[in-house]
Structure 1
């Protein structure tokens, strides 16, 4: 489904990595389109998590780094009504007229990251809904000067897509469609036994076959589905859905079984005479986090039972919420949320938030550096529960510490807060970071910050530091 949708919709939003093409840059309320010059690639898929919705990079450049210049594009919701506050004391270096008759203000400045300087030329186009930014980044002044013509070509090709634009609405719908219909939470990994061959994939199930002489066996590994929350109930439900309609056999008694991932596992089987021989129908069900994994097998050689049980023990979800590592949201997006309202970080601010999940507990910590030099650290702990795609965090309070530029420290306790998100786990091909944890259904808040420009009305976290 994911690859079909990418092929269908890449012209509008995702999966676009081509030379000299026109691509869409999306914001929460509006967006714009620009054209990559000859010899440059428009890429609005691979690097969106870095805080820019799209990158335009030299054709020969496979990955972003410090060796070559690149152009970053983003569209951010307006934080305030007035002129760009971070450049209020600067005179625009120049102006450029865009393809749709708007005026782009051009600024040039130098920044530093990890002790290394880099040089920037930025174009800003404002509208009532959105601040559109196109920034050329280069490792040296000489490299910057060399590609200014390419940068100006991109800026001049700018065409604003307002909230009522058909292109903006189509691209936003495409992105939402991908978010709501693709995820890796339902997929499983497994280790097939020697001698079993994999059959062509079918929707929602993976089949393995064994055939040697008169012996045969078949294993069907089904994608994860919502469960009842209790292993015995999950086993009975899976048998009635999978084995009963096909083999017309009553649900057998089940017993516990160890699994590689530690999920509660039930296994049960029925031996049946068919066509003059004895066959075994066996079902294994793994249950956890309000979800279930079902493995159904049938074989006529009892020696294959060991292979089937070994297969069931090897099964694990492609990814589950309590994966090793932290789910992190870190970026330089100017719009953030703090102390009950939106704030602007400016060009020099940074915000980072990370969730870590244990078996039943969670911990959140974060830091926000404001443009005036104030640093805010906060943390929260509590317990959590998962039911289907519902994630409930029962926060048990926390602490926030605010340090001003003159080292004045203000500490305050944070109240307990229980909130329920809808969550999805996503993974995209060719991403240098991932997988994603997408949280929706909760308003912007101090813990999660402001909504992502990547996915509407959502908070986006990535597994591991990025």
Structure 2
């Protein structure tokens, strides 16, 4: 697949289609027909699945340029494509300039569930702002859809300076420390299925057990953390919760707990049921400041990465490399939580 990607990219830069255009951010474009639309916080994506083949195309909201098209491309490639993947080095096109915009594309190949996935990133820059369009595809026919979308793009940056001026004014007059809380608001989960420790045909064998922990960050600056563990080798069900407030300052997330409790419940014959309450346990409330980042992945879902200097009561111990900072990952979840509270158990909200 890789050998035919770049010729297609060269051809797509001059293509144009005539159809009803959609608009996102500063981009007008022809959306692919019969693809599923998904709107994220800072991107819009279209996906399609045909049996074992699939593809996804995402347009990302504009950002400020880093200085030149090569630097802008490398930044987007590292953050949007290469993050959390083992992927080949990008094969790049030479930059081309037209109507005040410079465009550069690159492609690489990686594997997912044994299948080759081609990632094609196209970045546009006018030396002030830049915008990225990404395609992940497992089959060649999807590249034609990407070509058609790229060929239909119209970019209009005329409203950006006005918007930036308005944003700067709001920043100067708004002293609320929780202004950026909406960037992480929502449900972030870490759900793990218990395994037997054995593989059959290269696939892990699962038990009925599970470990589930999650943060619910609310836009008003409050949060709830819950952790439920139902493990086949443990005699009891473990459950803990915590509520409090949080604030975001740049890439720093500070969590200040107000209430919390943990305890043990007896099991029944079903992993979906609660037995009787056995005892409560001591639970330490810890105020923690994390360095955080959000990994944007329209295909598999976004991930928030919390980095702390030490293990925490909430997040647990170290799950990444021993010589690195403690790092905890939670995936954004659009569906309802899979954690249920014990019968009659009431969570005390943050004051």
Global fold match (TM > 0.5)? no
Normalised TM-score (structure 1) = 0.34
- Which one has the largest radius of gyration? 1
Normalised TM-score (structure 2) = 0.43
